[in-house]
Amino acid sequence: MRKNFFKTIVLFICLTLIVPFISTVNVFAATNDAPQIIGESAITMDLDTGEIIYSKNADVKRSPASTTKLLTSLIFAENKSKSDLIPYTDTSASLTETTLSGYLSGGAKPGDTMTADDVMKAVMIFSANDASIMMAESVAGSVDAFAAMMNEKAKELGAVNSNFINPNGLEVNNTTHNVTTAYDLALIGKAAYQNDWIRETMELPSTSVSINDAKIIIDTRNKNLGKDGNVGGKTGTETMAGHCFVGYYTRDGRNLITVVLGSEYGAEGINVFNDTKSIADYSYNAEKVPFKTAGTEIGTTELEYKLFRFFGPTKTITAPVVLDSDIMYYDNDYNSANAKIELSNTDLDAWKVASNNTVDLTFSIAGYNETVQGSVQLSTGQLLKANFPIYAAAVLAIIIAIVLIVVIVKLISKSNRRNRRSRYYR
């Protein structure tokens, strides 16, 4: 009876000590799980390295709503100066949805002007649709011509799955609207953030702009600004697009861009911002895991060589390529679908590889590239074995040639001795 009581006490003490540790481990594991967000598509990219840390349907084409204006503002910034005067036109003055003109009694009139800097503020902080049309027409002369510039710039940035028909992201109907992906928008957003004018503008929580002499106070639509390392962003909301947000974060010297598309607006309009905070927090805590480990065969390579090393017919041999060290990456659906390992130099000579089989490999995921070490599994013995009949025949031919030369030399020598003796006896 005493023994059972003693065992019970010991078991209770052990459980008391162990259970909190198990709970801590479970909580730690849970905090490192990829977040479940409302947004239909999302991505987190390291602004400095280009690495994709978090991804959800990042290659799915969607309407981007007013996040389009990142590209619009980038092209505008590359073609205008802050002090330039930008006029209202018939097209920009006629807009009524989310406009600066709506803050003026009677609205803005064609010919009214704003400085380019105020136009930038109106677009990046307030998301004014009329100001984005002013950007487009002042740069390209028309919305259609500017849309062509947008598509050209998008392709230049690597955003090859995007198509833009207007500078503000307004949707005409279910099928007629701008199209991009979370990944493409991250590339566009990265380029926009590298522009000082745009970056400094989106950092402002509020400011004022003027149309002619009328001053208008505008506040940012970015509800994450100044929180948890958020230093800027661009919002967007439309019927097909849902609630969208491109955010920029700086923590502990690391700079990230986040993209969330297709979130729900919600009663307070904060779902997309909650989604953004979730993926930003996760991304700052995420750790890389092995994509491929050392010793893994990652493919084969065809190597050319001269049969007799420096001369003879050219031949090829297939050899396996293995990793010399682990390749680490962020495990997510985008990386898993797009990661590649390739031989950096495909113009290799088999004889040289056989004597030094270390090679450079390129590990790449979209715009991110890393050089890793690998080995080509090829030896001189394998080359000799692959051509043994030819080498054996060559050796035999050499031996025969040497024997013939020796025989001929002996015959000549013998003949010379006979000739000398013949002359002596005369």
How far is the C-alpha of 223 from the C-alpha of 205, rounded, in Å?
Answer: 9
Phi, psi angle pair for 358, to nearest 5°: -75, 130
Told to judge if 69 belongs to the known catalytic residues of this protein, a careful annotator would answer: yes
Tell me which of 41, 73, 92, 127 is the catalytic residue: 127
Tell me which of 69, 80, 223, 277 is the catalytic residue: 69
Tell me which of 66, 92, 278, 375 is the catalytic residue: 66
Told to judge if 66 belongs to the known catalytic residues of this protein, a careful annotator would answer: yes
Instruction: Characterise 233 by phi-psi region: left (phi > 0), alpha (psi -120 to 50), beta (else).
Output: left
Burial (CB < 10 A; 0-12, 13-18, 19+), residue 31, is exposed
Provide the token pair at 174.
């279910």
Q: Is 234 annotated as a binding residue?
A: yes
User: Is the distance from CB of 339 to CB of 363 less than 8 angstroms?
Assistant: yes
Told to judge if 410 belongs to the known catalytic residues of this protein, a careful annotator would answer: no
Provide the token pair at 136.
């487009």
User: SS3 string of the chain?
Assistant: CHHHHHHHHHHHHHHHHHHHHHHHHHHHHHHCCCCCCCCCEEEEEECCCCCEEEEECCCCCECCHHHHHHHHHHHHHHHCCCCCEEECCHHHHHCCCCCCHHHCCCCCCCCCEEEHHHHHHHHHHHCCHHHHHHHHHHHHCCHHHHHHHHHHHHHHCCCCCCECCCCCCCCCCCCCCCEECHHHHHHHHHHHHCCHHHHHHHCCCEEEEEECCEEEEEECCCCCCCCCCEEEEEEEEECCCEEEEEEEEEECCEEEEEEEEEECCCCCCCHHHHHHHHHHHHHHHCCCEEEECCCCEEEEEEEEEECCECCCCEEEEEEEEEECCCEEECCCHHHHHHEEEEECCCCCEHHHHHHCCEEEEEEEECCEEEEEEEEECCCHHHHHHHCHHHHHHHHHHHHHHHHHHHHHHHHHHHHHHHHHHHHHHC
Q: Which among 259, 222, 232 has a CA at the least distance from the CA of 45?
A: 259
Instruction: Characterise 106 by phi-psi region: left (phi > 0), alpha (psi -120 to 50), beta (else).
Output: left
User: Can you say which residues are annotated as belonging to the binding site?
Assistant: 234
User: Can you say which residues are annotated as belonging to the binding site for substrate?
Assistant: 234
- For the annotated catalytic residues, the residue numbers are 66, 69, 127
